[in-house]
Structure 1
Amino acid sequence: MNVIVKRKTNIVNIILFVILSLGAITMIFPLFWMISTSLKESQYVFKIPPQWIPNPIVWSKYTEVWKLTPLLKGIKNSMIIAVTVITFGMFNSSLAAFAFSKLKFPYKNQLFLTLLGTMMIPYAVILIPQFVAFSKIGWFDTLLPLIVPGLFGSVGVLFFLRQYMNGIPNELIEAAKIDGCSYFGIYARIMMPLSKPALSAQVIFMFMGIWNDFFGPIIYINTPEKMTIQAMISNFNSLYQSQTDFPLIMAASLISMAPILILFIIFQNYFVESLAISGIKG
């Protein structure tokens, strides 16, 4: 009986492995095609049958793209926005998550539901009033409209961290109180270290959202030197797509993806752990 059950389990595992492998190949296919295209000469991009391994391999597009557009300034502007918003936004979101998870105060649940309700408001509804307000205070064509709103935190991050913190035993909080630890001390010395996986996952998500943001920079920034990397690449694409220089476009896109890939590689263990744990805690 045990042999039959074990054999069925092995068959199920093999089937799941094959399905997941096919899914992984499907998801990695666009990235591989981008890398392949960026290393080709233009005349081989649409060759039939497709040329998966470039022959010859051309690296010149990666040096050419730096000369044709100020990508370094775009990367710098995006990094300024991302680092500032993540630093202050994550602190405020995690502090609020700690309060909603472990502290007791009047109308806590009602306030939390109200915050969640704001996630239902489409961005298009507040776009024009926000644009008018930022223009009147002189923030148009600066990085401030992309930085200041994010400093107050994110409701989505607050919700995720609160759910994660709900799984941390309350006995730790009570023991810290008995030892004379302040609420901020409990937050800094207990909750934050225990929430590292969730924090790391949210840092990745926030960085991806800020780094890939295209809508905000296009609306608020006109000066090319002040644009973020995605806005620069958009302008770059509109110029060179008409010239069918797709290897150049793919090289620029891959350069913009590099920071996200590096960040994910650094925090991948925390990221996977947070998703695994958050699925069973709540």
Structure 2
Amino acid sequence: MSAVPLRRSVHRLLIHGVLLATSIATVFPLVWMVSSAFTPNEIITARAVRLWPEDPTLSNFTIAASRHPIWMWLWNSILTATLITLGKLLLAVPAGFAFGRMEFPGRRPLFWFVIATMSFPTVLAIIPTYIAVVKMQAFDTYGAMVIPSIPYIGFYVFYMRQAFRSLPASMFEAARIDGSGLWRQFMEIGIPNVVPAIAALSVISFMGAWNIYLWGQLVLEDGFKKTLTTGIATFADLEGTERVWGPLMATSLLSIVPVLVIFLSAQRFIVDALAPGLDER
């Protein structure tokens, strides 16, 4: 074997080795969490790490549910993430159609203003938003969690604009000739042809809303109104020095399963929607 092919083989082997090591380091915490979720709490730290428990048990879920309202947290997470996602789509989809297929004065400056909001650090808006929530007497309500999270739709508007602009103009011209107004064009032509983009943004929005932590910690005080993301922190607050790794890992597993299921079931839509290049016309 000549030197050049040998060097390429060694280089390829090193790359695969680094990627394999990185993958193992990335996946191992998840594997340990799953294993610990089904391992009796008293023996999690009393034995060597194993990839799967010898005697799997559901007792950690029972213990977690007896100490904290984890099923209520799960429902709160589903409810708030769903409402935030619907709110974002109700604003972003029509706005994307307006910017992509309609002509009106100030369209371009207004669109660039929407794009500019993507660079605005959301953390800067936390204090004024919190003050507004308190003054409106909405503190510790689902509305305080949902409504302030909806307006951050710069990327959603941009992506829906690109999705609508990628559709052939001839379809809309034919609809106008047939006497269809803008609303009918939007509902009967635009929406059915951008379903993959809407599905992809729905998953992205749901995952982002599901993982909201800082804002939830600020505006949700009642233990029964917390989401799973914010509720998990109470394990550290209430348990003190007691080792509760099993119930904690069981609750953590519960917090990722719905998002993982949604992502895996919709990944085809995500790939179909995000693969095409964005049109900057």
Within-5 A mapping of 1:29-178:
29-42=28-41, 44-46=43-45, 50-152=49-151, 154-178=153-177
- Once the two structures are TM-superposed, the CA of residue 51 in structure 1 deviates from its matched residue by 1.4
Match of 2:260 in 1: 261
- Once the two structures are TM-superposed, the CA of residue 124 in structure 1 deviates from its matched residue by 2.8
Question: Please, what TM-score do these two structures have when normalized by structure 2?
Answer: 0.85
Q: Deviations over 1:62-85 (max 9, x none)?
A: 222222211122122222222222
- Once the two structures are TM-superposed, the CA of residue 152 in structure 1 deviates from its matched residue by 4.8
Contact kept in structure 2, 1:42 and 1:246, CA below 8 Å: yes
1:194, 1:99 → 2: CA distance?
Answer: 16
- Once the two structures are TM-superposed, the CA of residue 93 in structure 1 deviates from its matched residue by 0.5
1:26, 1:177 → 2: CA distance?
Answer: 57
What secondary structure sits across from 2:200 in the alignment?
helix
Q: Deviations over 1:150-179 (max 9, x none)?
A: 455611211122222221111111111111
Q: Aligned in 2, Cα 1:49/1:148: closer, same or farther, shift over 3 Å?
A: closer
Contact kept in structure 2, 1:88 and 1:153, CA below 8 Å: no
2:155, 2:266 → 1: CA distance?
Answer: 20
Count of residues in correspondence between the two structures: 268
Counterpart amino acid of 1:36?
S
Counterpart amino acid of 2:51?
W
Q: Aligned in 2, Cα 1:228/1:178: closer, same or farther, shift over 3 Å?
A: same
1:80, 1:234 → 2: CA distance?
Answer: 20
What secondary structure sits across from 2:84 in the alignment?
helix
**Structure 1 unaligned runs (5+)?**
1-10
- Once the two structures are TM-superposed, the CA of residue 222 in structure 1 deviates from its matched residue by 1.2
Q: Aligned in 2, Cα 1:163/1:254: closer, same or farther, shift over 3 Å?
A: same
Q: Aligned in 2, Cα 1:80/1:56: closer, same or farther, shift over 3 Å?
A: closer
Match of 2:272 in 1: 273
Match of 1:250 in 2: 249
Which piece of structure 1 moves more, 93-102 or 135-144?
135-144
1:20, 1:259 → 2: CA distance?
Answer: 31
Identity %: 27
- Once the two structures are TM-superposed, the CA of residue 59 in structure 1 deviates from its matched residue by 2.5
Match of 1:182 in 2: 181
What secondary structure sits across from 2:232 in the alignment?
helix
What secondary structure sits across from 2:29 in the alignment?
helix
> Within the alignment, does 1:217 sit opposite 2:216 as a pair?
yes
- Once the two structures are TM-superposed, the CA of residue 142 in structure 1 deviates from its matched residue by 1.2
1:129, 1:56 → 2: CA distance?
Answer: 51
- Once the two structures are TM-superposed, the CA of residue 31 in structure 1 deviates from its matched residue by 2.2
Q: Aligned in 2, Cα 1:272/1:180: closer, same or farther, shift over 3 Å?
A: same
2:190, 2:164 → 1: CA distance?
Answer: 7
Counterpart amino acid of 1:159?
F
Contact kept in structure 1, 2:41 and 2:60, CA below 8 Å: no
Q: Aligned in 2, Cα 1:177/1:138: closer, same or farther, shift over 3 Å?
A: same
- Once the two structures are TM-superposed, the CA of residue 50 in structure 1 deviates from its matched residue by 2.8
**Structure 2 unaligned runs (5+)?**
1-8
- Once the two structures are TM-superposed, the CA of residue 202 in structure 1 deviates from its matched residue by 0.8
Q: Aligned in 2, Cα 1:48/1:135: closer, same or farther, shift over 3 Å?
A: same
Q: RMSD of the TM alignment (CA)?
A: 2.6
What secondary structure sits across from 2:54 in the alignment?
coil
Contact kept in structure 1, 2:36 and 2:246, CA below 8 Å: yes
What secondary structure sits across from 1:140 in the alignment?
coil
Which piece of structure 1 moves more, 149-158 or 229-238?
149-158
Q: Deviations over 1:133-155 (max 9, x none)?
A: 11111111112122223455611
2:89, 2:271 → 1: CA distance?
Answer: 19
2:59, 2:32 → 1: CA distance?
Answer: 18
Q: Deviations over 1:84-136 (max 9, x none)?
A: 22223202101001111111111211111111212222223222221111111
2:94, 2:64 → 1: CA distance?
Answer: 42
